[in-house]
Amino acid sequence: MFFGKSIQVTTPKGFLRVGYGLMVAGIIMFMVACYNYENEKSFIKTAQHATGTVINMIESINNSSSGSNTTYTPVVKFVVDGHEYTFTSNTGTNPPEYQQGQRVDVIYAQHDPTNANINDNLNNWGGALIFAGIGVFCILFGAIFAIFRNKIKSNSNMDMTSFRMFNQQNNQF
């Protein structure tokens, strides 16, 4: 009788390719995260500190099909050796993380104060964390695609002649 047999299920060959592609993309993203992390770690190790003041908040509105998204990016002024420097942070948030007039810890390259940023976890490690998260996500889903494709293939061992005979017997109505 047919009920004891499993049905052969096949997935497109592209399913396995997508899985491997996702895993490769994930590995690349994870490598970018590691590179970003090492660069940031060495920058922080040699960076100098100064106290800065948020002098402006830049409001950026991004309109997309899913709606409008507003981010607020701080502009910071700080002084090193009597010279005033101003920079715009790399990171915008909503709600705003800082307010105009707020004092912040600034880190800057020892020999190039124009290379500066606010010293906080989001600014320092946000890029590495985002790349690592996307990388892990791609690797996991790629592995699921590849494993799922192989599981289906290995479980599809039904004798097709039994299936055809079952169909012929039951289609005589």
DSSP-derived secondary structure for the chain: -GGGSPPP----HHHHHHHHHHHHHHHHHHHHHHHHHHHHHHHHHH-EEEEEEEEEEEEEEEEETTEEEEEEEEEEEEEETTEEEEEE-S--BSS-SS-TT-EEEEEEETTEEEEEEE-SHHHHHHHHHHHHHHHHHHHHHHHHHHHHHHHHHHH----HHHHHHHHHHHT--
- Name residues of the chain where pLDDT drops below 50: 1, 9, 153-156, 158, 173
pLDDT reported for residue 96: 86
On whether both 54 and 106 belong to a single domain, the answer is yes
On whether both 149 and 110 belong to a single domain, the answer is no
pLDDT reported for residue 161: 54
Residues 6+ apart with CB under 8 A from 67: none
Separation of alpha carbons 29 and 137, rounded Å: 10
73, 11 in Cβ contact below 8 A?
A: no
Closest CA to 26 of 142, 148, 126, 147: 142
On whether both 27 and 37 belong to a single domain, the answer is yes
pLDDT reported for residue 169: 56
141 lies in some domain: yes
Separation of alpha carbons 84 and 73, rounded Å: 20
Closest CA to 141 of 27, 10, 35: 27
82 lies in some domain: yes
On whether both 114 and 53 belong to a single domain, the answer is yes
Residue 135 burial (CB count, 10 A): 21
Q: What is the pTM of this model?
A: 0.60
The token pair that represents 162 in the structure block: 């039994």
On whether both 104 and 142 belong to a single domain, the answer is no
pLDDT reported for residue 75: 94
pLDDT reported for residue 136: 93
pLDDT tens-place string over residues 53-86: 999 998 888 877 676 788 899 999 999 988 999 9
172 lies in some domain: no
Residue 50 burial (CB count, 10 A): 18
